[in-house]
Structure 1
Amino acid sequence: MRAACFLPLLSLVSLNTGLAQSTPPASSPAPAAAPATPPTLIASVVNRFPHDRAAFTEGFQYLGDGTYIESTGLVGESGVRRAELKTGKVLGRVATPLATAFGEGVTVLGGLAYHLTWQDGLAFAFDMATMKEVGRYRYQGEGWGLTTNGKDLIMSNGTPTLVWRDPKTFAVKRSVVVTSGGQPVKNLNELEYAGGSVYANIWLTDRIARIDPQTGKVTAWIDVSALTREVSANAAKLGKPLTFDDIPNGIAYVPERGTLLLTGKRWGTIFEVKVPGLGLTNGRSQPRR
């Protein structure tokens, strides 16, 4: 019985082996293409303007009439000011209403200046005509940078996520994770919306990310290391060298010239620069006061 049972089993094994050998191997899936590395752009300086070296710049926006608005940080020194671009003369200012707060970003929309705080979860609104406080808003997490697309507020909080908020309620409308080459980009800081893109300083670096607001993908990097070197050299000549956190932080779009104003924390200069891919908006000034 063992021999009689073994022969059919042996035949079955041989048949299965032959079938296996005659079946073509499954093809391996093609490897996914690596995400493209965004190009690096160089900012070309076309003008230089004076900037207050005591200003620990957190927010920065051009107002369209030869003036800009700026917010500053550090506890006890935080506030919002409006200044003249050519001279740096302060035309009006208000301290961050919470004396113990570390002030962060600022942006102007609908006649109001919205101002963040770092770790207090509190934003303030000021009337641009009077610089009087007219509103307070609560939010979760930290506050870093703030800009506007003309309809919503766009906010960073140090993570790779940008958040769109309703200016009337500060409620979250949408969010997007910022990535470069498929990897999340953390430490998004001061923001500016220009030419359909969001521009973001990256904390403690000499790079600005140009971001697609729909996908969150970085479409280009702007290298501003030459500006940092110039400011650092000038500060050293004055015997007041920059510290480790006196980094690039401040981006403002000038629509009538198609340029950006760039500065930094405790920098003595505001640079007006041209950046490839960014141009005029309607060829004229568009005040956002």
Structure 2
Amino acid sequence: MPAVIRVEGLSKTYASGFTALKDINLEISQGEIFALLGPNGAGKTTLIGCICGIVNPTAGKITVDGKDIVADYRAVRAMIGLVPQELATDMFETPWATVNFSRGLFGKPQNHAYVEKVLRALTLWEKKDSRIMTLSGGMKRRLLIAKALAHEPRILFLDEPTAGVDVELRREMWEIVRKLRAEGVTIILTTHYIEEAEEMADRVGVIAKGEIILVEEKNELMRKLGKKQLVLQLSAPLTEIPAGLGAYDLHLGADGNELTYTYDTRAERTGITALLNDMRAAGVTFKDLSTMQSSLEDIFVDLVREKR
């Protein structure tokens, strides 16, 4: 798919001297769900702010659908919906009024049918005339999305959209995001929940200390950087790993009854076949086996640790 967002040589240094972003280069494809992962202070929110025109970059260029965010600010901003971490609206207002008002801010004509569609999709229609202060935390989160969708953007930024919400609501919001993507909306998601990225993202970017350290398709990332373990329950205990098996990354359990082989997923078939053949040659047999695979969280933690 063509790139709808291009970031080239982007840097941001604040007046205090703190550099939040360093030479960021990034392309986001039309219609994808892109997850941006990073620890606190990594630069995720600053990067989103620069793309949305909220934060002025120190250097670099950003285009959205081929339009420069500085030269064509109004056109670019109209294409983007931003769901911030915190709700900032009049608590005495109603969802119906605030979503219609958000639509008007972008110069869009009234379209009550569209606003109704958005509120119904986010299960807020029954609360459309209630004061925002009376809504539950989950409803307020969904209202943030409704406000961001009010002007019919084709690109949606979700900045920690499920922070602090329960598991059931988190899964409901995942389903909302999937439906938006099915309608052609490009989704950029920042999250601390690795499970969220693993569940939804097409591609994953990792940012640490203001630098993009990796951008990769999620499945390819897990294939290339993921580790697997083969756990073998031995037929008879060993006191040590036979010399003939020294070429493998093996760990012998404390009681000698369990042998664990850790391997790169890229060498899965050849590595396991060779190990089992060499075990047979060394007279080591097993009665049961199981496998485990590293998660996206494991990969993320390793990448950030290396950056430090």
TM-score range, shorter chain: under 0.3
Query: Going by fraction, where is helix more abundant, 1 or 2?
Result: 2
Query: Going by fraction, where is strand more abundant, 1 or 2?
Result: 1
TM-score by length of 2: 0.25
TM-score by length of 1: 0.26
